[in-house]
Amino acid sequence: MSPWGHLAAAVPLAGAAYLAGGSPLGAAASGAASVLLDLDHVADYLWLQKGRFRLHGFFSDYRSHLTPKLFLFLHSWELALMALVVALLWPAPPLVLYLVAGWIYHLACDQLSNRVGPAFYFLSFRYSKGFERSLLPCPQGHAKP
């Protein structure tokens, strides 16, 4: 899903969060978390580019599917569900639950809209493939040397 798609999808999530909990801050937190989760794409890009960030390069590499590895640590059902369990078992502030709700919502939106197969959003699956894009069921480009 594109950043604009996530932004549009965050509106009904924030509304639902507000209706469920009555907290404007919680609603904003869940909406923001559902959009900002994609910052792990930036972390991947920085790691692959050895810390050099060029905005044009970032968007062209990702649109062209040129990154040879996909770590995307936050795009992980295992970590999101672990965060949910910890938030429920630990007396976490309500804001944490709103953030985790945004995280899970983002993954669900991606899972439904991106054509990468059901296993892609499991970190353990990507790990088993060495995070190599060429071995993952996702769009392929020409990996940089």
Q: What is the pLDDT of residue 105?
A: 96
Q: What is the pLDDT of residue 62?
A: 67
Structure tokens belonging to residue 83: 């965060």
Q: What's the distance, Cα to Cα, between the start and end of the chain in Å?
A: 27
State pLDDT tens for residues 46-73. Answer: 887 777 888 777 777 666 777 788 899 9
| DSSP result, 39-104 | HHHHHHHHHHTTT---HHHHHHHHHTT--SB---TTS-HHHHHHHHHHHHHTT--HHHHHHHHHHH
Q: Locate the domains of the chain by residue range.
A: 3-37+74-131
Q: How many residues does the chain have?
A: 145
Q: What is the pLDDT of residue 142?
A: 58
Count of helices and strands (H, E) across the chain: 7, 0
pLDDT < 50: residue spans in the chain: 143-145
